[in-house]
Chains A and B, each alone.
Chain A
Amino acid sequence: MKPLNSVIAACPPSGIRRFFDIAAEMDDVISLGVGEPDFVTPWRIREAGIYGLEHGYTTYTSNAGLPRLRELICAELSARYGANYSPADECLITTGVSEGLDLALRVLLNPGDEVIVPEPCYVAYEPCIAFAGGVPVRVPTRWEEDFAVDPTVVTAAITSRTKAVLIGSPANPTGAVQPRSALQGLVRLATEHDLYLISDEIYDRLTYTGGHTCLGTLPGARERTVLLGGFSKAYAMTGWRVGWICAPAAVAELCVRVHQYTMLCAPHVSQLAAVEALSGPGHDVDAMIADYDRRRRVFVKGLREIGLDCPEPGGAFYAFPSIRSSGLDSESFAEQLLRAENVAVVPGNVFGPSGEGHVRCSYATALPLLEEALVRIDRFLRSIRHTP
């Protein structure tokens, strides 16, 4: 047989997958390995989807998505962050940020173009760059600096082939929120070197220690920024697969061009549910966000009390504690913890080399389970300290 696509064949499977396989075979697992809310989509939003099905909204929509939904998204971005995007030609609805990221990369990159990726970062960033014909270039961020992007480190990675910088804030897996100054530094670099910025803002609503900075609103950023957002996290809508891209018209137009041939449109029912998400009363979403914050406080305090250094996660729903004091590497720690105490966490190194020495713990889990998980992790730490 002729060889399959060499880029895809060379891409290693996600390191998360292995832990899924182990955890799936065990009973009584407390999983802190889940990257999605434990809440179910608020009923008013589910009901809007059901209404759509009952009334036969089972067709395609326009490629760019329902005009009403695009209007609501642009109005929301304007009201919340002061961002100005035109619903008509600067906004399109995607099947989640995952598709949005793929579209953005395909539209921006020519073969061999380099994309700078501060890591640790979401597991899909590097493979998606490679699939789009680009070359991912990692730059490290350090937990001692709360994973803030250092513009001088980024500058050192810029070459004549550099095309874009891809950043997620608030971040999966670290929970870090990039300080405004770091983002301004990136915009300055991008302007100097004529780079695009791809900003994954799926966790924008989940910030706890300060507001969210929408990258497209920083001076000089708008013309070179592709903004990715979605409904999965804040509205607990992961399975609906609905997100959006906001970008300058020239970029958005080409995104629609790829989208119309590969996806055609985001699911109609999901778009109707998303309309309700944005147009209905938002107290249910506010209540979920307040709950994440309370769990965050309890869980991070608990991690520190059992002896794990944990940088303050300002956003998303992840804590990224250092497990260096255990003497184990991330993979061994996660695997031994799972086998000994039935607690699933994700080893930090799957998110990039700077994640080594950490594990990702999702606190999108009911408080009693988080408290039980802390008891079990504590017991595990004691057991390995007593075994020479």
Chain B
Amino acid sequence: MREILELLERDARLSHDTIATMTGRPVAEVSAAIAAWEASGAIRRYKAVVDWDSVEEELASETVTAFIDVSLAPARGVGFDDVAARIARFDEVRSVYLVSGSHDLRCTVTGRSIRAVSDFVSQKLSTLDRVHSTATHFVLKTYKRDGDAFAEPDPDHRLPVTP
């Protein structure tokens, strides 16, 4: 069953029929499993992986991404969870991780401009209770994201017919 999830994670547009053939299971079983995962929230949603740098200029929206490292004072009973949840609620925040190392949280933040991201960090993020300090790293170029390399794939070098 794990295989079904892995296949969908790679290509969410595979039909239940094809998944059933690929995994050698009845279609009804595949559909039921997927429906159950959708209902339970194990499958959160389906989406396209967009390389915005490759989109035509008139369609591309100016988006700036930054990684923000946040240092926090933990609180008795909840550790960092309550502050992390507060930070995660902002639409500008795309991801929040609790990490080991010199900071506590690593967040990904997007905005229309460097100014917009800076304002968010200085006005919203760093003013939260128990946030000690932040360090902002703006993304200059994306080479690979979540396993997707954003480079031209190499052409097929094979000869058309070989033994």
A interface residues with partner B (beta carbon < 8 Å): 14, 16, 19-20, 23-24, 29, 31, 33-36, 38, 40, 122-124, 172, 290, 294-295, 297-298, 301, 344, 346
Give 27 A-B contacts (CB < 8 Å), ordered by A residue. Answer: A16-B161, A20-B162, A23-B161, A24-B160, A29-B160, A31-B158, A31-B160, A33-B160, A33-B161, A34-B158, A34-B159, A34-B162, A35-B163, A36-B162, A38-B156, A38-B158, A123-B163, A294-B7, A294-B22, A294-B23, A295-B22, A297-B21, A297-B22, A297-B24, A298-B21, A298-B22, A346-B161
B160 to chain A: which residues have CB within 8 Å? 20, 23-24, 29, 31, 33-34, 344
Residue from B21, B24, B162 with most neighbouring chain A CB atoms (10 Å): B162
Select from chain B the residue with minimum beta-carbon distance to A368.
B11
Contact A14 B163 (CB under 8 A): yes
Which chain B residue has the least Cβ–Cβ distance from A293? B22
Bound complex: CA A24 to CA B22 (Å): 31
Report how far A40 CA is from B149 CA in the complex, Å. 15
Closest 10 CB pairs of A and B: A33-B161, A294-B22, A20-B161, A23-B160, A31-B160, A35-B162, A19-B161, A297-B21, A298-B21, A35-B163
Cα distance A29–B160 in the bound complex, in angstroms: 8
For B113, the chain A residues whose CB sits under 8 A away are none
Give bound CA distance, A295 to B162, whole Å.
20
Contact of B163 among A122, A298, A344 (CB under 8 A): A122
| Residue B154 is within 8 A (CB to CB) of chain A in the complex | yes
Taking a contact as CB atoms closer than 8 A, the residue among B154, B156, B162 that contacts A33 in the complex is: B162
Q: How far is the CB of A79 from chain B (nearest CB, A)?
A: 25
Which A residues lie within 8 Å of B162 (CB)? 16, 20, 33-36
* Pairwise interchain contact B161-A124, C-beta atoms closer than 8 A: no
B18 at the interface (CB under 8 A from A): yes
Nearest-CB residue, chain A, relative to B3: A290
Residues on A with C-beta less than 8 A from B161 are 16, 19-20, 23, 31, 33-34, 344, 346
Count of chain A to chain B residue pairs whose CB atoms are closer than 8 Å in the complex: 51
Smallest CB gap from A33: residue in B: B161
CB-CB nearest in chain B for A351: B163
B-side contacts of A24, CB under 8 Å: 159-160
Residues on A with C-beta less than 8 A from B163 are: 14, 16, 35, 122-124, 172
Chain A binding surface, main DSSP class: mixed
Nearest-CB residue, chain A, relative to B156: A38
A35 to B159 alpha-carbon distance, docked (Å): 9
- Name the A residues within 8 Å of B158 (CB-CB): 31, 34, 36, 38
Per the bound structure, the CA–CA distance linking A346 and B163 in Å amounts to 9
Min CB distance A361 to B, Å, is: 12
* Proximity string of chain B (14-49) to chain A, C-beta cutoff 8 Å, 1 when within and 0 when not: 000010011110000000000000000000000000
Of B22, B158, B161, chain A has the most CB atoms within 10 Å of the CB of: B161
Given contacts A38-B156, A344-B161, 19 further A-B pairs with CB under 8 A are: A20-B159, A20-B161, A20-B162, A23-B161, A24-B160, A31-B160, A33-B162, A34-B158, A34-B159, A35-B162, A40-B154, A124-B163, A172-B163, A290-B3, A294-B7, A294-B22, A294-B23, A295-B22, A298-B21
Q: Which residue of B lies closest to A299 (CB)?
A: B21
Q: Mark B124-163, 1 if CB is under 8 A from A, else 0.
A: 0000000000000000000000000000001010111111
Given the complex, which residues of A lie within 8 Å of B7, measured CB to CB?
Answer: 294
A71 vs B24: C-alpha distance in the bound complex, in angstroms?
Answer: 37
Q: Which residues of B contact A298 (CB under 8 A)?
A: 18, 21-22
Q: Which of B3, B22, B162, B163 has the most CB of A within 10 A?
A: B163
Interchain CA distance A35-B158 in the complex, whole Å: 9
> Quick one: CB contact mask for B70-97 with A, threshold 8 Å, 1 for yes?
0000000000000000000000000000
Give the chain B neighbours of A38 by CB distance below 8 A. 156, 158
Which residue of chain A is the closest to B18 with respect to CB atoms? A298
- Which residues of B lie under 8 Å from residue A29 when comparing CB positions? 160
Give the Cβ gap from A286 to chain B, nearest Cβ, in Å.
12
For residue A365, which residue of chain B has the nearest CB?
B156
Q: What chain B residues lie within 8 Å of A33 (beta carbons)?
A: 160-162
**B159 contacts which chain A residues (CB < 8 A)?**
20, 24, 34
Q: What distance in Å separates the Cβ of A209 from its nearest Cβ neighbour in chain B?
A: 10
> Across the two chains, which residue of chain B brings its CB closest to A17?
B161
What is the distance, in angstroms, from A335's C-beta to the closest C-beta of chain B?
Answer: 12
Residues of the B chain whose Cβ atoms lie less than 8 Å from the Cβ of A31: 158, 160-161
A47 CB, min distance to chain B CBs, angstroms: 15
> What separation, in Å, do the CA atoms of A13 and B21 have in the docked complex?
39
CB distance from A337 to the nearest CB of B (A): 13
Chain B residues with CB below 8 A from A295, complex form: 22
Give the distance in Å from the alpha carbon of A294 to the alpha carbon of B24 in the complex: 9
**Nearest chain A CB to B111 CB, angstrom units:** 34
CA distance in complex: A38, B153 (Å): 13
By a CB distance below 8 angstroms, the chain B residues around A35 are 162-163
